Structure 1
Amino acid sequence: MASLEHYEAFVQTIERGSLTGAAKRLNRSLQSISRALAALEDELGVELVRRTTRRLHPTPAGFMLFEKLRTALKDIENARAEAGRDADRVSGVLRIGASVLFAPNHVVPTATAFLQRFPEVEIELVLNDALADLIEDRLDVAIRIGDLGAASLRSKKIAQLRRVVVAAPSYLTRRGYPKAPSDLSTHLCVVRTFGPEGDIWPLTQGAEIARVPVKGALRCNDAAAANAAVLHGAGIGLAPLWQVRHDIDAGRLELLLPEFEPPPIAVSAVWPASAGAPARTRLFIEMLSHRLAGERI
């Protein structure tokens, strides 16, 4: 009968894409991983893995087994961690998804501190501005700004991000200052073609949120490039404060319409609902939440 070691070898083979990767992850020999996979296929009487020249891929039956075993093994790991009740023994690989711009300043410092606190943990950062699929990308937790993605995910709000309207002094010298949201219709605005707003900016007017149409000669699908365009005087921009704070502090950008500041957007940690979050995931979320609470974002 297949043992827990057989199941672990199979799951790691699929996650790592090779027998070699599984052997390295489990600190076992390549031969033992190969034997475990063959024994599991023999016992079940079905092919679980197809081998190509570059990577191993699960068959339909293999993928179904992988999904169930992955959840079961996480539950076993969680049970062991809970039984130990010893935070100093937190270990394993923690795969964290985050956006390319947000991670360096706001996730990496916490990740570094976390590794110092829990030296038996390894962290893999998976940075992507697209909305990652946690199961497909094998993420334990993702740090998301705004959209949480699938409703089946578990989530915890860990911070709120201010958004501001800004422009470069060179632009304001040419075109003047908007005094009210309606004035934006006479200005050039740098439009972000990604995200929920685009060319409709949500600005606070009293107790309500006004959706103000904007337009401009430059549209962009990347946050860093959009911020650079605003910095070079292409037009007025709407951006999270954390992305442009240094330029505001240095006088390279000016804050506009502060009394009409858009509502903040949430930063949340999300993780798969199919299994309870292991101790390392919960502790990382707590540490990141505490750190962000003390930052000006």
Structure 2
Amino acid sequence: MDVFASLKAFLSVADEGGFAPAARKAGVATSSLTRQVDALEEHLTAVLFNRSTRSVTLTPAGEDYYVQAARIVADLEEANRSVSEREGTPRGLLRVSLPVAFARLHVAPVVPAFLRACPEVELEMIMTDEVVNLVEDRIDVAIRLGSLESSSLIARRLAPHRRILCASPAYLEERGEPLCPSDLAAHECLTFSYASGDRTWRFSCDGKEELVRVRGKLRANHSETLREVALAGLGLLLMPSWLVGPDIAAGTLRPLLTGWEANIGKTAASPDAGIYAVYQSDRRTSAKLRAFVDFLEASFGTPPYWDRCEPSEAIV
């Protein structure tokens, strides 16, 4: 018995809901699929399908087996693709996990150009702010922001990840400008909702670090919402330059405490905050992955285009 062929026959029958439609799709005789599935059931000593004249459905054992069989077949097909494309043309499905706001602002706009450059690549973008498990979620590459925890994953740094303290000119005219980190305690600060509930902002200058417990009427787990509120003149904002760089260039937000570096997102174990592409070591030879990551890095530039925005004369 060809186990792999029997697995594919089993999956096809389950996906198509019957032997006849699966056979039509595969362009083979129904009897051929029936023999393969019968042989598989005999090999497993288990019944995988409930068969009747009207329907074919999975048994409980078949449902359990389907999950494992689908993963095995997908892994083998991915292994075959990875080997065949090592030095060849990028092709096949590429599953990418990306933070929502960053994806919308800086990845989605260049996707059309990437797909034109790599017409044989099929791209699936999973946009989420959760840290996904690359193995369990079958992700080829994830874009992650900030500092990385130690892991066996390969991490390629695409750009720096700088945070900028800023506020609208209207807010500063009403409330005044903070001159040092400790001044922030007296200001309305718009904060991101971290799982820990921490509302401490950390700054460093010439080896000195200051921690400030900030407060404000608004917390949100959506960075673009906080930006909109800051633009409306309702508080100070500490956000990545990729989010607020264009606003600073336009003069709608003004950078503050420019002599201080914001340390949110940095850890003692991983002090180098950045924008990274992370992937498993067995994906390093994937032509489609390499093409996508190279394309993003080239699109962002060095320094990235959002850090090349200069404040307008109106806010200097």
TM-score normalised by L of structure 1: 0.78
Deviation at 1:132?
Answer: 2.5
Aligned residue for 2:134?
134
Aligned to 1:296, which of 302, 305, 313?
305
2:25 alignment counterpart: 29
1:262 aligns with 2:266: no
Counterparts of 2:255 and 2:280 in 1: how far apart (Å)?
A: 39
Shift of residue 139, structure 1, vs aligned partner: 2.1
Q: Using a 3 Å threshold, how does the CA distance of structure 1 residues 219 and 61 change in structure 2: closer, same or farther?
A: same
Shift of 1:129: 1.8
Q: Distance in 2 between matches of 1:195 and 1:247?
A: 28
- Counterpart-to-counterpart distance in 1, 2:99 and 2:28: 38
For residues 59-81 of structure 1, what are the alpha-carbon distances to aligned partners after superposition, in whole Å with 9 as ceiling and x for unaligned? 44444444444333322222222
| 1:261-280 map, 5 Å | 261-263=261-263, 265-273=273-281, 278-280=286-288
Distance change (3 Å), C-alpha of 1:42 and 1:57: closer
Asked if the contact 2:47/2:61 (under 8 Å) is kept, the reply is: no
Distance 1:57 1:281, change over 3 A: farther
C-alpha distance in 1 between matches for 2:154 and 2:39: 32
Where in structure 2 are the equivalents of 1:234-249 lying within 5 Å?
Answer: 234-249=234-249
1:282 equivalent to 2:290? Answer: yes
Match of 1:183 in 2: 183
The 5-angstrom pairing of residues 53-202 of structure 1 reads: 59-82=63-86, 85-87=87-89, 90-146=90-146, 148=148, 151-194=151-194, 198-202=198-202
Q: What's the secondary structure of 2:129's corresponding residue?
A: coil
Equivalent residue letter for 2:305: R
Give the partner amino acid of 1:77. Answer: R
**Amino acid of the structure 1 residue aligned with 2:294:** E
- Taking the aligned partners of 1:33 and 1:247, their CA distance within structure 2 comes to 64
CA 1:198–1:5: 2 relative to 1, 3 Å = farther
Task: Give the percent of matched residue pairs that are identical in Structure 1 and Structure 2.
Answer: 29
- 2:219 maps to a residue whose letter is R
Tell me how far apart the structure 2 counterparts of residues 274 and 260 of structure 1 sit (CA, whole Å): 40
Answer yes or no: is the 8 Å Cα contact 2:179–2:257 preserved in 1.
yes
Q: In structure 1, list runs of 5 or more residues that go unmatched.
A: 21-27
C-alpha spacing 1:210/1:63, structure 2 compared with 1 (3 Å): farther
Give, in whole Å, the separation in 1 of the partners of 2:91 and 2:61.
27
Residue 100 of structure 1 contacts residue 127 of structure 1 at CA under 8 Å; is this kept in 2? yes
Provide closer, same or farther for how the CA distance between residues 182 and 91 of structure 1 changes in structure 2, counting only shifts above 3 A: same
1:42 lines up with 2:41 in the alignment: yes
Q: How many residues align?
A: 281
Q: Is the 8 A contact 1:230 1:237 kept in 2?
A: yes
Shift of 1:113: 2.5
User: SS in structure 2 opposite 1:131?
Assistant: coil
How many Å apart are 1:144 and its aligned residue? Answer: 1.1
Retained in 2: the 8 A contact 1:168–1:231?
yes
Larger Rg computed on CA atoms: 2
Q: Where in structure 2 are there 5+ consecutive unaligned residues?
A: 18-23, 264-271, 307-316
1:81 partner letter: E
Distance in 2 (CA, whole Å) between partners of 1:251 and 1:242 is 16
Corresponding position of 1:25 = none
Which deviates the most, 250-259 or 136-145? 136-145
TM-score (norm 2): 0.74
Q: Tell whether the 8 Å contact from 1:165 to 1:261 is kept in structure 2 after alignment.
A: no
Instruction: Please name the residue that 2:314 is paired with.
Output: none
Match of 1:93, SS? strand
Deviates more, 1:262-271 or 1:220-229: 262-271
Shift of 1:118: 1.8
Distance 1:161 1:58, change over 3 A: farther
RMSD: 3.7
